[in-house]
Homo-oligomer: A and B are copies of this chain.
């Protein structure tokens, strides 16, 4: 339940205002060099307080590795790690002890478990995703050995999207990090930042869409029927806090089209079978076909507003509520590395599983 993956498996623990977050990464291929600085870089991309358009909670999010690495390399044994919490203002949440915030997990956790750590959302806080970024950063480094890379970027904030002729597969990952909203198109990025600052000013929040791209996949990843590659990616993405939708290839829009318009005609490239177009988004019958995988994840505007709302008590009394915690006006910029992490872990897991289930002799 708190474990992701079948072979490459991340188990996470930790609450928003507890002593530490952390996790265990199991099924890590052995004898692979790991750059720990690179992992910290990924965590820094997710870190709160990194820019003016994200929460100003101050956490250094330094990861400490406890096992599984020896002389800079993976040993095939589980990698245990922790990230200590520092800047938690738990008293900000005292008024939530007996009141549930609207559109939050307070009520559902309390009902399911009969108890909850109400400080900062406890386990339901997106702070848990820091552990995912660690898992993803390690997965990325292993995937690099296979020539596989993955990147994601903010493609929509509110109603502001990328130009229709923008080519998502040709993005240079450096352009994503060139601005604080993590949108590779400079002009769009500026408009998005303006929009976020505007909603922030009024204590409101805004949603958006993140696009993910996976490049360099061999043909054959993904298990047909229930564990199709798109099903595993969907589960991974929909497990991210605030995610409301997942689509790949032509997605929802492609449904309005005719089959004859959507077929990806075959071609050959450097002696390899490929397709002229990529409406399918890199997967056929649940199995990677060697083209880029392209997908989109919709994120809702988070429900923590810096304006007065109305909570409810366990016994059903409505109660005025003014949240004091520090929160993101828009989760998109910080969700980009999380989407990448989930994609990298999903693909590596498929790759390792595929080694067990594919043609072997």
Contacts and interface: CB of A to CB of B under 8 A. Distances in A.
Interface of A: 1-4, 7, 9, 11-15, 18-24, 26-27, 29-32, 64-68, 70, 73-80, 82, 100, 102-105, 107-109, 111-117, 122-124, 128, 145, 156, 158-159, 199, 204-209, 219-220, 223-228, 230-239, 241, 243-252, 254-268, 271, 273, 275, 279-281, 284-289, 298-305, 307, 309-312, 316, 318, 352-361
Given A102-B263, A122-B77, A29 B360 contact: yes
B238 A145 contact: no
Contacts of A359: 29-31, 76, 112-115
A316 B273 contact: yes
Given A2-B26, A108-B219, 7 more contacts: A1-B223, A2-B24, A15-B70, A19-B65, A77-B122, A112-B354, A235-B235
Top 9 closest pairs, chain A to chain B, by CB: A105-B285, A245-B247, A13-B80, A205-B259, A207-B255, A108-B287, A259-B301, A30-B113, A112-B220
A306 to B, nearest CB: 10
B250 A285 contact: no
Nearest to A105: B285
A1 B227 contact: yes
Contact of A239 (B3, B27, B226, B236): B226
Nearest to A79: B13
- Name A's interface SS: mixed
Contact of A70 (B20, B77, B117): B117
Nearest to A25: B13
Contacts of A303: 259, 262-263
Contact of A225 (B107, B128, B223): B128
A108 B229 CA distance: 12
B258 A67 contact: no
Nearest to A276: B102
A311 to B, nearest CB: 7
A299 B230 CA distance: 13
A262 B310 contact: no
B14 A27 contact: no
Contacts of A298: 247, 251-252, 254-255
A196 to B, nearest CB: 11
Nearest to A227: B1
B356 A224 contact: no
A23 B20 contact: no
Contacts of A158: 255-258
Contacts of A361: 29, 31-32, 145
Q: Which of A15, A249, A268 has the most CB of B within 10 A?
A: A15
Given A11-B24, A117-B70, A258 B301 contact: yes
Contacts of A245: 245-248, 251-252, 255
A236 B226 CA distance: 7
Contact of A3 (B3, B208, B263): B3
Contacts of A70: 15, 115-117, 122
Contact of A102 (B11, B111, B265, B304): B265
Given A15-B67, A239-B231, A359-B29, A113 B263 contact: no
Contact of A78 (B12, B117, B355): B12
